[in-house]
Amino acid sequence: MPVAPQETIWIVGASAGIGRALAQLYASKGAKLVLSARSHEALDALNQKLGGSHVVMPLDVSDRQAMDQAINTLKTNQLCIDRAIFMAAIYKPQSIETMDLDFADQLLRVNVLGCFIFGKAIFNFMKQQSHGQIAICGSVAAYQGLPNGQPYSASKAAIQNFTESLYLEAPQTIDIKLISPGFVRTRTTDLNEFEMPHLMEPNEAAVAIEKGLKTKRFEVHFPKKFTWQLKILALLPYRLSLKIIKTLF
């Protein structure tokens, strides 16, 4: 089923992984896209693959001035954003013992500060236009601390908390969604040396997100067989949940 012809979707983190798959899916359904990521070259290549009719807007989400410029570009071009989907993130597996603190600083700037900068900017933009949907990608890693998951798991826990707060502050005219994927095969998850349960392909994740964003539920989480297991684990007392997680990972 195609989206409404007038629907314009801003995908931040569109150059690779799930974000790229989402861009391809929404383009196939007739949406007009605003494509953002740090790599201008990758965005141009994606736009050409999608027919060349979409808006390419390179963006470093951790740069506040760049975000202000992006919002001004939307206003200058009189673009109404019906959905804004934040997929930007960086990752590599690290233990606390071997954690690269320089990378941790970069990760927190992109994953957390970038999410805050985007969230504030698009929230105020949508309040002015009096409607819209903001979807922010967290992770099932936010449900429970995982071994060798720092600082990524902590960043996703922060994003989940931020999105919950955003939901509580939003007027009825703005729909807030949290996206919580399980393991999805991307160039970053390829770095994992452990077996990833219920591993999905990016196009499968994109389909799950596209369907979930049309529902009334706050959280879009998948694959359900995996995510419900982790949700139940998170409800257990720590002495049980941590013991189980340690044996699984």
State pLDDT tens for residues 119-174. 999 999 999 999 999 999 999 999 988 888 889 999 999 999 999 999 999 999 99
Cis omega (within 30 of 0) for bond into 93: no
Topology, domain 8-248: Rossmann fold (3.40.50)
CB–CB of 36/8 below 8 Å? Answer: no
* Per-residue model confidence (pLDDT) at position 113: 98
* Per-residue model confidence (pLDDT) at position 193: 65
Token pair of 20, please? 């790229």
- The residue assigned the tokens 């989940």 is 160
CB–CB of 111/139 below 8 Å? Answer: no
CB–CB of 10/132 below 8 Å? Answer: no
* Contacting residues for 162 by C-beta, under 8 A, at least 6 apart: 112, 115, 116, 119, 136
Q: Is 173 exposed, middle or buried (0-12, 13-18, 19+ CB in 10 A)?
A: exposed
The residue ranges of every structural domain in the chain are 8-248
* Per-residue model confidence (pLDDT) at position 38: 95
* Per-residue model confidence (pLDDT) at position 3: 45
The mean pLDDT values, 10 residues at a time, for the chain of 249 residues are 68 96 97 96 97 97 97 94 96 88 96 98 97 96 86 95 98 98 80 76 97 97 93 93 84
Q: Is 197 exposed, middle or buried (0-12, 13-18, 19+ CB in 10 A)?
A: middle
Token pair of 189, please? 């998850």
Sign (positive/negative) of CA torsion 141, 145, 146, 150? positive
What percent of the chain has a predicted confidence (pLDDT) above 90?
Answer: 80
CA distance 31 to 9: 7
* Per-residue model confidence (pLDDT) at position 23: 98
Distance of CA 56 to the CA centre of its chain: 18
* Per-residue model confidence (pLDDT) at position 5: 55
* Per-residue model confidence (pLDDT) at position 129: 94
Residue type, 152: Y
In this prediction the pTM is 0.93
